Chain A
Amino acid sequence: MTSRKLITRRVLVYIILGTIGFVLVFPFLWMIATSFTSGRAIFRLPPRFDLMFTPQMFDNYITVLRDYDFILYTINSTVVAGSAALGQIITCSLAAFAFARMKFPGRRILFVLMLATMMIPLEVTIVPEFLLMMYLGWLDSWAPLIVPSFFIGTFGTLLLKEFFENMPLDLEDAAVVDGATSFTLYRKVYMPLSKAPLATLFIIAFVNNWNELLRPLLYIDTRRLMTLTVALTTFQSEYEARWNLLLTGSVVSIVPLLIVYVFMQRFIIEGMTHTGLKT
């Protein structure tokens, strides 16, 4: 191929990529644009983003964050998703260490059982789970949002098991010669050397819990305990036509994740592809 042909080809590729990129990202752009529209202008055609670049530009954000408590909901989501993700790291790394490095009766059965339940949709177990939470007196608290995902992490266990299995056994031998037991080995050797997969797992668990709707919807009644997702759907039922505020709220709910995504996209993308599953 001549170099001119090569250049035209390359330009063509960028045009195609740009077009697809625009189509895929357009809804986000439209959401941001709508968040700079006043309530008066929202039902005007052609669409005009009348607050854009005016002194009132961030009025919708101020309304949503202050008057509609989205600051509080953001904090709630952060605490809930953060605790659940932290729990996943602990539970998964412990289990993965045992699966990867120790022999015990029932090891295979337990592993198969874990894999078998991986594909079961939450909807199948949600009714008994709700009854269990009711029995425990945990309704209208964060416990039902945090505890189940604290304890269950199939994806994380798989990810870490594979990582641990690929670590050289010499490390272990050296530590054992020094008199280390299984717990010190886990804490002092395996955990410090697994920062990358642990970070991956934490972020993915955080994203999943941040985005979760069914559990917060069922378990949280008190407004002050709501997470962003359920706050948004509540806001949606109460103020159906206030699209500018609804979409401002959506932007608020997405931005923290997008910031994390921009810096950690490698971890997130690779982690999510690794076993092909999200939790």
Chain B
Amino acid sequence: MKSGLSKWYRPWHPFVFVAPLIVGLFLFRLGPMVYAFFLSFNRWNIISPPVWVGLSNYVELFTSDRFLRILGNTLRYSITYVPLVMIIGLGLALIINRRIRGIAFFRAAFFSPVITSAVAIGLIWSWILAPRFGILSYLARTIFGISTPAFLAQSATALTTVAVVTVWRMSGYVMIIYLAGLQEIPSTFYEASMLDGANAWQKLRYITLPLLTPTTFFILIISIFESFKNFEIIYTMTRGGPGIASTTISYSIYQNAFVFYRMGFASAQAYVLLGIVSLLTAANFLLRKRWVKHQY
């Protein structure tokens, strides 16, 4: 390329190199996306041929209380997950951002839930939170004398519980990204503030947090996306229940397509999910200028 030598590749060579990626991209990403869009205007149970029904899947979605509740659940899950995982992740990063003996061990331990499958995590938390025989309810009863709710079996708590378990799983991940951001802040800022006699809170408020805004923005986007991929943990912990109390769009797509065999209806929901994801991304990038102040 930039070398002065004659070209070392023929014009068609690069296409051979990218061929597998192109195949993958079109066969498993773009192709299915286009096809899902087409499907969303059909009624189809896989057995009999698909029937074109126009917008009726979308009409059904937005006029059914059931789907509006599912939509509400999806947003509620995100609103619980995103701020919590960011605050806890930042807290962990601030605590772990120091050079002391054994810190690598703690960092590895804090990160370990991230590499564990949602299934294993869902199972262990279901047992910890189990009514009566779970360790949490036992300790609450014997030490504090209070009775705990049936976290996963009650409509009021099921969704929040699943979201909080996911926070537990992913906060180590947010921690690591924040840690990278913290270590990029030039130490001269802190040295200057020491001379001015700033205390720990002032340093956090006026140096660390403002200089972290690009990282925060990045984590915000990642976490929002992460919050929509909740099928696995919901499948393991609640199967969307009780009733539809913890059913989100991700779970509902699976349920409609592969339990009720409503391929078109499921595809319409997939497009609603895609719409939400794209809208949030666009909004994030537009708002970014307003609050990402310091890019050094």
A interface residue numbers (CB < 8 A to B): 10, 13-14, 16-17, 20-21, 24-25, 27-28, 30-31, 34, 42-43, 45-47, 90-92, 94-95, 97-99, 101-104, 107, 110, 113-114, 117, 119-132, 148, 150-153, 157, 169, 172-173, 176-177, 180-183, 185-186, 207, 210-211, 213-214, 217-218, 228-229, 232-233, 236, 243, 246-247, 250, 253-254, 257-258, 261-262, 265, 268-269, 272-273, 276-277
Contact = CB atoms under 8 A, between A and B. Distances in A.
B36 A182 contact: no
Given A127-B257, A236-B236, A254-B120, A16 B17 contact: no
Nearest to A253: B120
B117 A30 contact: no
B46 to A, nearest CB: 8
A153 B23 CA distance: 12
Contacts of B30: 113, 117
Contacts of B267: 127-128
Chain B residues touching A, range? 35 or more
B266 A127 contact: yes
Contacts of B11: 104
Contact of B31 (A104, A128, A229, A250): A128
B17 A250 contact: no
B19 to A, nearest CB: 8
A261 B112 contact: yes
A93 to B, nearest CB: 9
A126 B124 contact: no
Contact of B95 (A17, A34, A101, A233): A17
Interface in B98-154: 98, 100, 102-103, 106-121, 123-125, 127-128, 130, 133, 135, 138, 142
Contact of B33 (A21, A47, A104, A125): A125
6 contacts: A128-B33, A130-B258, A214-B231, A232-B123, A233-B119, A269-B107
Which 8 residue pairs spanning A and B have beta carbons closest together?
A151-B24, A128-B32, A98-B17, A211-B117, A125-B32, A104-B14, A182-B9, A95-B21
Contacts of A45: 133, 138
A121 B20 contact: no
Contacts of B235: 213, 217, 233
Given A151-B27, A272-B173, A172 B168 contact: no
A172 B117 contact: no
A272 B222 contact: no
B212 interface: no
B100 A13 contact: yes
Interface in B152-194: 168, 172-173, 176-177, 180
A113 B123 contact: no
B95 A120 contact: no
A126 B29 CA distance: 9
A210 B39 contact: no
Between A14, A121, A213, A277, the greatest number of chain B beta carbons within 10 A of the residue's beta carbon is seen for: A121
B278 to A, nearest CB: 9
Given A172-B3, A182-B9, A123 B250 contact: yes
Contacts of A103: 1, 14
Contact of B29 (A14, A98, A152, A177): A152
A210 B273 CA distance: 26
A24 B36 contact: no
A47 to B, nearest CB: 6
A90 B253 CA distance: 32
Interface string B253-296: 11001100001001100110110010001000000000000000
B124 A247 contact: yes
Given A94-B17, A123-B229, A269-B108, 6 more contacts: A91-B21, A94-B18, A120-B277, A127-B39, A243-B127, A261-B108
Interface string B6-48: 0011110111011111111101111111011001000000000
Contacts of B20: 90-91, 94-95, 151
B277 A27 contact: no
Contacts of A258: 112, 115
A20 B116 contact: no
B218 interface: yes
Given A17-B106, A272-B176, A127 B253 contact: yes
Nearest to A21: B109
B96 interface: yes
Contacts of A232: 119-120, 123
A169 B3 contact: yes
Given A94-B18, A95-B21, A123-B231, A180 B124 contact: no
A102 B39 contact: no
A191 B93 CA distance: 35
B135 A277 contact: no
Nearest to B180: A273
A123 B123 contact: no
A127 B37 CA distance: 11
B82 interface: no
Contacts of A276: 177, 218-219, 222
B27 A27 contact: no
